[in-house]
Amino acid sequence: MINFKQNLFQKVPKALACAIFFIVILLLQQCAFRTKSGKLKNGDLLFVTAKETGLSGAINNVTQKQKEASFDHIGIVEKENNHWYVLHAAPKGGSQKQELQYFLADQADDGQKVIIYRLKPEYQTSIPVALKKAESMVGKPYNFNYILDENSYYCSDYIERAFRDDDIFKLEPMTFIDPKTGKTNDFWAEFYKKKNLKVPEGELGCNPNGLAASEKLERVGEL
């Protein structure tokens, strides 16, 4: 009986200590998230830095326009009922409205950073209409061909459409040429070959790096 009581009292403090530890970690995470979200304004654009390999690297290889801009994904921020969300189109989940904390966690898991861009003051009036349009597109599947159509969207396509009524961004002829070789990038040549599609060289489209280069945006900093 004595041994049982002794063991019980030994275990309780450890369990309590563990509970307190996890509560503290949770509170710290919440504080960190609030600090991050405090940098945001409704309608901000979140650009995700590109990886060096795979699809991400291939996108950046043929689209990078600025030395400091190397992105492969983009979403738009919306604050609703004191909660932050990111509206974006992604391979997993298609066009969606995702809680900001989970969006950030997904990028952190892949070792990618998130950079905030903001419409300059004279274009801020476009945000309400853009958010309404973005909401209306939620639920559409992801466009894995990266060729514009009305039934599915890829990330920058989703954002360009959201702001289209106010002509914030421009569609431009796409290129899949590797700037180092002057020939079609090997990744993209194989990518479209597997889909039995012609490389859409010169067709209209958009990409995260092109949107980031817009003179209507200003870079705010890392989230």
Residues 64 and 164 in one domain: yes
Give every CB contact of residue 43 below 8 A, 6+ residues apart in sequence.
76, 77, 78, 118, 119, 124, 127, 130, 131
Name the residue range of residue 23's domain: 1-37
Q: Which residue has the tokens 């899949």?
A: 176
Q: Which residue has the tokens 């992105």?
A: 71
Residues 209 and 115 in one domain: yes
Residue 33: pLDDT band (50, 70, 90) is very low
Give every CB contact of residue 29 below 8 A, 6+ residues apart in sequence.
none
Identify the pLDDT of residue 166: 96
Residues 63 and 8 in one domain: no
Residues 120 and 217 in one domain: yes
**CATH number where 71 lies:** 3.90.1720.10
Per-residue burial over 192-202, b = 16 or more CB atoms within 10 Å of its CB, e = otherwise:
beeeeeebbee
* C-alpha distances in Å from residue 174, one per residue of 86, 147, 166, 208: 26, 10, 22, 12
| 76 C-beta neighbours (distance < 10 Å), count | 22
Residues 28 and 85 in one domain: no
Residues 6 and 111 in one domain: no
If you average pLDDT over residues 98-103, what whole number do you get? 97
Q: Quote the DSSP letter at residue 102.
A: H
Residues 32 and 127 in one domain: no
Residues 115 and 24 in one domain: no
pTM of the model: 0.80
In the chain, the number of structural domains is: 2
- Whether residue 69 is predicted with pLDDT greater than 90 in this model: the reply is no
Residues 54 and 158 in one domain: yes
Residues 67 and 95 in one domain: yes
If you average pLDDT over residues 63-69, what whole number do you get? 60
Closest CA to 44 of 111, 107, 126, 110: 126
Residues 15 and 33 in one domain: yes
Residues 55 and 24 in one domain: no
**Farthest-apart Cα atoms in the chain, separation:** 83
Predicted confidence (pLDDT) per residue in 138-181, tens digit? 999 999 999 999 999 999 999 999 999 999 999 999 999 998 89
